[in-house]
Chains A and B, each alone.
Chain A
Amino acid sequence: MATSRSGLQVPLPAGTILLAGCDGADVGNPRRRVLQTIGAALTGTVLPVPGHARAGNGRNAAERAGLAADHGAGHSAARAGAVPPAGRFALAATWQDGTGYFVGVLVPAAGKLEPLSRQRLPTRAHGIAVEEGGTVLVAARRPGDWLVRFDPRRGELRNWFWSDGEHSFNGHVVRSADGRRLFTTETAIETGEGSVAVRDRDSLSVLARWPTAGKDPHELVLGPEGGLWVANGGLETRQETGRTKHHLDRMDSSLVRLDAGSGRITGQWRLADPRLGLRHIAVAGDGSLAIALQAEHDDPEVREAAPVLALWDRRRGLRAVDLPPQTQLAGYGGSVAVSADEVAVGCPRAGLVARWRLSAGDSRWQAPLELPEACATAAGWHGGAGWAVHAFQVSGDVSDGSHSSNGSNGSDNKQSGDSVVERLQVPETIRLDNHWALVDRAAPGGVLPARA
């Protein structure tokens, strides 16, 4: 999952609320605040946070949460005192149901995430990038034959680009910092070599192709310094043998940084354990990276207990983050997101959202969130099977256990440490893919990214 300038993620500083009370009234009482929060989740309104929201600095919760602070697009509706319309935030997502594959927008409403608009896709879609103007780019994966632009307002698919037969899409796309180009990770069918295709924003056609110095490049993100980060998964798969993973003993996963203007590789890092596949990346506000891992060890016991998170920063480089003793996440991190000082990894095989608190290059394990088939993550929003959870942090002690219902059932709402967790029902027929992205429906132009 991506971040920062990619427009895919919304970093949330600690102690802020994304979804809160309805009208900006008294939010000082923790219990009332939580209840307001739950209620607001049903309508998608945004409210300032006590102790911060109206602290005289003129910044509202959304701004301090990074919604408008770090990019030029801005979101005026979220300014202090304003009451954004209900259902402001939505999630661009891809999913399958019994009838096929879809891209669409899911909107929180009445304790549920309901499809607002959707369009059928020919095969599985994977990564998502939200553009200025609210359109959504979707890249195919296994088989990676197409890239398409989805317009949620019109419910239309536009700008189909079918692969040329010589390269396949690996499921992720990201916009350049100026929005004029797109980058997609791809694999050459004949040689298996990985590359980043530089594409024209409008036509989606290829302008240039840059090697990634590895196989199986997967997610790519733009760093704040202008570097283009790519996770080479390192697995060898072939078009003619479908899902088979070849030569795992030669697996070579790496993290590479490219110059986003020239494609020149400016750095490459590997983990000590070659069977840990680097696959999904999120960028923290300080430019450090969180990378979700997928283990490919032959020994099931080793695989089960394998780390699912690696961190990178300038000072310490790349390293895997060990799990606490007795903790097993099945060695599979399906996506990763960074919200302020918290990193979350969706672990569908463990049915958990694993969380760490980041501080000065160190990480501290947090209580995970239970969520069946948890995978898609985006700034505190986690998607799973039948449910999504929205986890956010509040100031003060809210652990009174009194906010236990959002109307669905008695155990829908939980709190974990200093986080409030809301649960929203996802239609049973929908099976989300790995990724989704938060979008701001109130921004000018309709469905706009919360972060451009």
Chain B
Amino acid sequence: MKSIRFCRLQWRRLSALASFATLSAVVAPAAAQLVAVPYYEPSAFVAALEARHLAPQAARFAASAGALVDAISGLCASTGESNQAGARQDNEGRASEARAQARDAWLAAAESWERLQAVLAGATVERRSAIALDFRPARPALIKRSVGLYGKAPPDAKTLERVGAPAKGLPALEWLLWDPDAPQTRQSCRYSLGLAQEVQREAGALASAHAADALRDWREEPDAAAERAAEAVNQWLAGLEALRWRNLGKPLSMLVTKDGTPQEARPDGWPRPSSASHRDAWRARWESLRSLAIGPAPTDGFTPQPAVAPDVISLESLLRGRGRNSDADGWAQVIMTADEAMQALKEESLPPSAQAVGREVAPSVVRPAGVPPLALLQEAVKALDAVKQYMQDTVAPGLKVNLGFSDADGD
């Protein structure tokens, strides 16, 4: 990505800069603690990102993908067929329990994947893992057809090359595990197992690649570090956009118009249509984005910078390290405002500000399962949009990062 440049930062010591002690603290610049923030090199930023965020997230995803394979293996083992009533009842009981375990395993794997994909960088971009693992919406007709064609044994990697993305990955597994229309046969379970193994292979490859990146001495690769840092900033914005529009704004727009008239029913527009675990998806992605957006500087700036900082270097810290304290304050403010809106999605409460926004939404609109009040969604979209604007207008320019396309591009 040669069009993207991250400025080569020179190490400097700056003092008397405000910081925010905890992510959940209400931002109050007037009462901010005065601490020193170092001027981070891109290599320091990337080293911390890889070692403290991406590699651990990828490892967790790989572990959860392995657990998913085990759980679906258990489900397949319990999916017996018996002609005897007693045995059949026992089988059903075991299958029900195994299915619950498989669903829990899927939720855990999806959660860890959501945290990892919040900021795609390095191998996750190169491998197009998001397409392989998380192509949405799943296509039930295509899944059913694939079950029939390839479910005689768990399909291997070569077999799955012949299957389109809408019938693979986590969304297809979700449909197979939850949807009442999904076949619950040995054949479908074998197909599910093949999909889970494919997810595990991809997760393993990502874990290996990010582990290797975490071990690189990025100080020896300044150009690669600058490129990776710029990629990470760009992808932070891409991850935010996916949350703001694809996971929240788009399904909301598909559901209602300005006067609240219901639109065509498109439940597959929501992030987790079968399991109705949309809130988990929103929360996981947002928490991952937030952890990279704001937070205290991991070193004090008065000692030689370690090869890998003990924690991620947030975008806020990068701004403060460049002396952009005011920009950093504003950034923290919009992030915390968005955090409040995202928390509201989880808590089902309706803050006063959301009530005003919600006037446009008619009560007749039927919310799909797992979808919070639409006014809360509107408020979250609005808050995330403010984050996007601030990133475009202030943060990226402040860090001298070019965005591939920006809203300023006419196209």
Q: Which residues of A contact B (CB under 8 A)?
A: 120, 122-124, 126, 141-143, 145, 157, 160, 162, 165-166, 171, 189-190, 218, 237-246, 248-249, 279, 296, 298, 332, 334-335, 346, 348, 375, 433-434
Closest chain-A Cβ to B98's Cβ sits at a distance in Å of 31
Contact between A190 and B131 (Cβ–Cβ < 8 Å)? yes
A244 contact from B238, B245, B257, Cβ within 8 A? B238
Contact between B235 and A143 (Cβ–Cβ < 8 Å)? no
B144 at the interface (CB under 8 A from A): no
Alpha-carbon distance between A249 and B131 when the two chains are bound, in angstroms: 23
Q: Which of B11-19, B86-94, B401-409 is found at the contact surface with chain A? A: B401-409
Q: List 18 A-B contacts (CB under 8 A).
A: A122-B250, A142-B411, A143-B250, A171-B411, A190-B164, A190-B165, A238-B131, A239-B130, A240-B120, A240-B128, A241-B125, A242-B234, A244-B231, A244-B234, A245-B3, A246-B1, A248-B2, A375-B410
A143 contact from B231, B245, B266, Cβ within 8 A? B245
Most buried by A among B266, B404, B407: B404
> What 1/0 mask marks residues of chain B from 379 to 411 whose CB sits below 8 Å from any chain A CB?
000000000000000000000000111110011
Residues of A near B250 (CB, < 8 A) are 122, 143, 145, 162
Alpha-carbon distance between A246 and B234 when the two chains are bound, in angstroms: 12
Closest chain-B Cβ to A349's Cβ sits at a distance in Å of 9
Residues of A near B231 (CB, < 8 A) are 244
Contact between A243 and B405 (Cβ–Cβ < 8 Å)? yes
Alpha-carbon distance between A296 and B3 when the two chains are bound, in angstroms: 8
Alpha-carbon distance between A237 and B245 when the two chains are bound, in angstroms: 17
Contact between B1 and A244 (Cβ–Cβ < 8 Å)? yes
> What 1/0 mask marks residues of chain B from 340 to 379 whose CB sits below 8 Å from any chain A CB?
0000000000000000000000000000000000000000
Contact between B120 and A241 (Cβ–Cβ < 8 Å)? yes
Contact between A298 and B406 (Cβ–Cβ < 8 Å)? no
B403 contact from A189, A243, A433, Cβ within 8 A? A243
Cβ < 8 Å to A, chain B residues 1-43: 1-4
Alpha-carbon distance between A126 and B405 when the two chains are bound, in angstroms: 14
Contact between B131 and A240 (Cβ–Cβ < 8 Å)? yes
Contact between B411 and A243 (Cβ–Cβ < 8 Å)? no
B258 at the interface (CB under 8 A from A): yes
B216 at the interface (CB under 8 A from A): no
B237 contact from A123, A243, A245, Cβ within 8 A? A243
Residues of B near A335 (CB, < 8 A) are 410
Contact between A165 and B235 (Cβ–Cβ < 8 Å)? no
Cβ < 8 Å to A, chain B residues 234-275: 234-235, 237-238, 241-242, 245-246, 249-250, 253-254, 257-258, 263-264, 266, 268-269
B166 at the interface (CB under 8 A from A): yes
Instruction: Kindly list 14 other residue pairs between chains A and B, CB separation below 8 angstroms, not including A122-B253, A142-B405, A375-B410.
Output: A123-B249, A145-B245, A162-B250, A165-B137, A165-B268, A190-B131, A237-B405, A238-B128, A240-B125, A241-B234, A244-B4, A245-B1, A249-B2, A332-B410
Alpha-carbon distance between A433 and B407 when the two chains are bound, in angstroms: 10
| Nearest-CB residue, chain A, relative to B137 | A165
Contact between B1 and A240 (Cβ–Cβ < 8 Å)? no
B136 at the interface (CB under 8 A from A): yes
Contact between B405 and A241 (Cβ–Cβ < 8 Å)? no
| Nearest-CB residue, chain A, relative to B121 | A241
Known: A171-B411, A242-B238. A162 touches B266 (CB 8 A): yes
Alpha-carbon distance between A242 and B4 when the two chains are bound, in angstroms: 14
Known: A244-B231, A245-B1. A143 touches B237 (CB 8 A): no
B178 at the interface (CB under 8 A from A): no
Residues of A near B1 (CB, < 8 A) are 244-246, 248
Alpha-carbon distance between A239 and B365 when the two chains are bound, in angstroms: 29
Contact between A160 and B263 (Cβ–Cβ < 8 Å)? yes
B242 contact from A120, A145, A242, A279, Cβ within 8 A? A242
Contact between B3 and A248 (Cβ–Cβ < 8 Å)? yes
Contact between B3 and A143 (Cβ–Cβ < 8 Å)? no
Contact between B410 and A334 (Cβ–Cβ < 8 Å)? yes
| Nearest-CB residue, chain A, relative to B138 | A165
Residues of B near A279 (CB, < 8 A) are 411
| Nearest-CB residue, chain B, relative to A249 | B2
Contact between B128 and A166 (Cβ–Cβ < 8 Å)? no
Return the 4 tightest CB-CB contacts between A and B, nearest first: A242-B238, A243-B405, A240-B130, A334-B410
> What 1/0 mask marks residues of chain B from 208 to 235 whose CB sits below 8 Å from any chain A CB?
0000000000000000000000010011
Alpha-carbon distance between A113 and B355 when the two chains are bound, in angstroms: 35
Closest chain-B Cβ to A358's Cβ sits at a distance in Å of 24
Alpha-carbon distance between A242 and B241 when the two chains are bound, in angstroms: 8
Alpha-carbon distance between A229 and B81 when the two chains are bound, in angstroms: 59
